[in-house]
Chain A
Amino acid sequence: GAGVSQSPRYKVAKRGQDVALRCDPISGHVSLFWYQQALGQGPEFLTYFQNEAQLDKSGLPSDRFFAERPEGSVSTLKIQRTQQEDSAVYLCASSLSGGGRNEQFFGPGTRLTVL
């Protein structure tokens, strides 16, 4: 597609369930980023991939969060044993070159609600 797509757009999970969020970046984009946006706040960086390599995961809030991009295109953010504090919008962005030197383009986000 022409832009970054994410699925599902909305996800409701019971506390303790595992969830998987998908990101399809713009075709050919080397860099891929995940962000978490809590209600009323700005996006906060979670992790960064350059092709299939996860170069920075310093923003992942706990070891319950795991991200992968095995073939250097589609990425999945997995959250295990979800907690209520995980409720947020999860945003994916991609950029053309490595190192995030170019502008980032964002997907529509996945709104996760943990009950």
Chain B
Amino acid sequence: GIQVEQSPPDLILQEGANSTLRCNFSDSVNNLQWFHQNPWGQLINLFYIPSGTKQNGRLSATTVATERYSLLYISSSQTTDSGVYFCAVRYYTSGTYKYIFGTGTRLKV
């Protein structure tokens, strides 16, 4: 099946710093989402981004589907950005769609 790997696995930032999180996937995908799982466990939607670039405040994301990666940019990080960031993909295999989460990046600001 498809592999979805995220890097770095762990990241520590000073408040105000910028960072880039990466999501690599091993095969074609139909859609891709970025989530932030806060310290209370809630998964918060950041971006639905099967391709292209989107921005929302201090966050932006780019997916290059043909090269099988997506990037999440966090600028001017704040303590509330702490938590785990997941990418999740939907892909087609064996006559059905499957859903898989990446390995996650744990961020501490």
Contact = CB atoms under 8 A, between A and B. Distances in A.
Interface of A: 33, 35, 42-45, 48, 55-56, 58, 89, 91, 93, 99-106, 108-109, 111
Interface residues of B, number: 22
Given A104-B88, A109-B42, 6 more contacts: A33-B99, A42-B103, A45-B98, A45-B100, A91-B43, A103-B31
Given A56-B96, A109-B41, A42 B102 contact: yes
Q: Chain A at the B interface: mostly helix, strand, loop or mixed?
A: strand
Contacts of A109: 41-42
Contacts of A42: 86, 101-104
B42 A108 contact: yes
A91 B88 CA distance: 14
B97 A100 contact: yes
A109 B40 CA distance: 10
Given A42-B103, A42-B104, A100-B90, A106 B98 contact: no
Contacts of A55: 96
A102 B33 CA distance: 10
B45 interface: yes
Contacts of A103: 31, 33, 45, 48
A111 to B, nearest CB: 8
Contacts of A93: 43
Interface in B50-109: 86, 88, 90, 96-104
The 10 A-B pairs with the shortest beta carbon distances in the complex, nearest first, are: A103-B48, A42-B101, A106-B43, A45-B99, A43-B101, A42-B104, A108-B42, A103-B33, A42-B86, A100-B90
Contacts of B43: 43, 91, 93, 106
A107 to B, nearest CB: 9
A99 B48 contact: no
A56 B92 CA distance: 13
A87 to B, nearest CB: 14
Contact of A102 (B42, B48, B104): B48
Nearest to B104: A42
